[in-house]
Amino acid sequence: MARADRLERMDTRRSDLEIEYRAALIEALRVTAAGTWGLFDHNKDRAARVKVAPTVDHLIELAEVIDDLRDQLDMEAFALHQEFLAARGPVKADAVGEPKQAQAWLDRLTA
């Protein structure tokens, strides 16, 4: 029974961290949608990277703990973080700007 209790506590912690991650991501997306670039790192702007680094670092740290818990619970990696990482980085010149991309993410996450 102790193992089942431990697994239940781990799953509860995982769930709480995923909620915290989602809330932090939504807040970062709101800032970006309002016109602050850097979250998606499309422009390789050093100043924007420095400004958004604490937010991105916090998301990464949360995701690492979440993925560790998911691994212990024999679950797949945290999909929301994987999607976020995949959306970051250089894009083609005709890609939408970060504020529009952030708004699209917000629309999807808050629907």
- Per domain, the residue ranges of the chain are 2-110
| DSSP-derived secondary structure letter, 96 | P
Q: Report the predicted TM-score, pTM, of the whole model to 2 decimal places.
A: 0.93
pLDDT string in tens for the chain (111-residue length) = 688 899 999 999 999 999 999 999 999 999 999 999 999 999 888 999 999 999 999 999 999 999 999 999 999 999 999 999 999 988 888 888 999 999 999 999 998
* Angle of CA points 20, 8, 108, to nearest 5°: 35
Nearest partner of 42 among 84, 97, 105, 100, judged by Cα = 97
8 A C-beta contact, residue 41 and residue 88:
yes
